[in-house]
Amino acid sequence: MDLTPNDIQRQALDAVDRILQRNGDTSHNKKLVEQVQYDEGLHAELAGAGFFDLALTEGAGPLDAALVVERIAESAAVLAASGTALVFPMVTGETAAGPVALSNGQGSPFRMGQFASTVLILDGDVAKRLDVRPGDVEPVNNDRTGWPLARLSAAALQRAPALGPGKGDELRNWWRTAIALEAAGAMKGALRQTVGYVKDRVQFGRPIGSFQAIQHRLAHLTVSAEGAYWLGLEAAYRGAPAEAAAAAAAYVTSNAPLLLRETQQMHGAIGFTREYPLHLWTMRLPALQRELGGLTRHARDVAKGLAAGLEAGSARVAAQL
């Protein structure tokens, strides 16, 4: 057990940070969100530097990919990072040729669909792969906030071939891990922005961050953001086993609503403007909360898994109890 990044991981994260910083600050990301554009330049640079291959690279693996995905999410870059760098390679065994989006196959809005060259679809329990052609996806009006959204056409869904037996479960588990990592990054980003804001914002003659009424709430949010981060990383390290992946997704979907509400609340009215960058992180959380059935599905799958495990080892467990 060692929770400190090794030299290679540290170097990789430093390199990613340098690329993200060079690529632009939050103004750059705000502009992309407002114009509903994908950060093609950043995608190309990260892909060229091999960061989207990490999951399948010898000497690296899904944990290294997860570290990079979380860091990208924390920066609020407009990228399909988790689908491209983690879910697609782990489910297909291939490196993605372009942006990869994830859809539930029911025609409902999904993240980054209009920019994807490939869509992995979880149609019921069956995993499908769609190599996107013109007309397959239709952009959705999301009022230019949060993730760019699109819908999949019925024809595209029908055309998409199934990936094979067992792949549905794999896709669900890696997708849940991706939800946890994307949400952990968004939660940490929103929290960092808010901590900075309450240190600067003066009311009643003092920074509002000096009020205990603010401090304790931020401290609680820190626990949930850090918890999300570690659950996501551990699930990735372990190869996204069903229980760990569902627990990670359950944790973020259980805790993200409060973090969203509180970080917006602590900003007051400025937090609702397009000019102020908080929305880059907070407005991503509702989409992540909804995917794969949301908290109820993730948490109930955890419960069913635990109950099945208890029954399987009932004698041993009874002794433990």
Number of residues that bind other proteins (CB under 8 A): 61
Q: Hey, what are 219's tokens?
A: 């401290």
In single-letter form, the type of residue at position 97 comes to A
Task: Specify the stretch interacting with other proteins by CB under 8 A; choose among 41-49, 84-92, 225-233, 263-271.
Answer: 225-233
Element (DSSP H or E) covering residue 286: helix 285-290
- The binder of other proteins chosen from 15, 36, 140, 310 (CB under 8 A): 310
Nearest to 67 by CA among 47, 48, 81: 81
- The binder of other proteins chosen from 12, 79, 120, 247 (CB under 8 A): 247
Tell me the CA end-to-end span of the chain in Å, nearest whole number: 27
Q: Which is nearer to other proteins, 158 or 203 (CB)?
A: 203
Task: Specify the stretch interacting with other proteins by CB under 8 A; choose among 93-101, 143-151, 171-179, 307-315.
Answer: 307-315
The minimum distance between CB 31 and other proteins, in angstroms, equals 29
d(CA 58, CA 19): 23
Q: Which is nearer to other proteins, 14 or 94 (CB)?
A: 14
- The binder of other proteins chosen from 80, 231, 240, 283 (CB under 8 A): 231
Q: Which is nearer to other proteins, 48 or 241 (CB)?
A: 241
Residues 140-169 touching other proteins, rule: CB under 8 A, are none
Q: Which is nearer to other proteins, 11 or 27 (CB)?
A: 11
d(CA 228, CA 179): 10
State the Rg of the chain over Cα: 20
CB 109 within 8 A of CB 102: no
316 binds other proteins (CB under 8 A): no
CB 104 within 8 A of CB 122: yes
Residues 193-222 touching other proteins, rule: CB under 8 A, are 195, 198-199, 205-207, 209-210, 212, 214-216, 218-220, 222
- The binder of other proteins chosen from 91, 100, 248, 260 (CB under 8 A): 248
CB 107 within 8 A of CB 217: no
Residues 58-97 touching other proteins, rule: CB under 8 A, are 63, 67
Residues 251-280 touching other proteins, rule: CB under 8 A, are 251, 254
Residue 36: how many CB atoms within 10 A of its CB? 15
Task: Specify the stretch interacting with other proteins by CB under 8 A; choose among 31-39, 99-107, 133-141, 310-318.
Answer: 310-318
Residues forming a β-bridge with 137: 152
Which residues, 6 or more positions from 210, have their beta carbon under 8 angstroms from its beta carbon?
A: none
- The binder of other proteins chosen from 28, 144, 238, 290 (CB under 8 A): 238
**Sheet strand arrangement including 110-111:** 110-111, 149-152, 137-140
The minimum distance between CB 294 and other proteins, in angstroms, equals 10
Coil, helix or strand at residue 80: coil
Coil, helix or strand at residue 78: coil
d(CA 84, CA 86): 6
Binding site residues, other proteins, CB under 8 A: 1-6, 9, 63, 67, 195, 198-199, 205-207, 209-210, 212, 214-216, 218-220, 222-224, 226-228, 230-231, 233-234, 237-238, 244, 246-248, 250-251, 254, 295-296, 298-304, 306-307, 310-311, 317-321
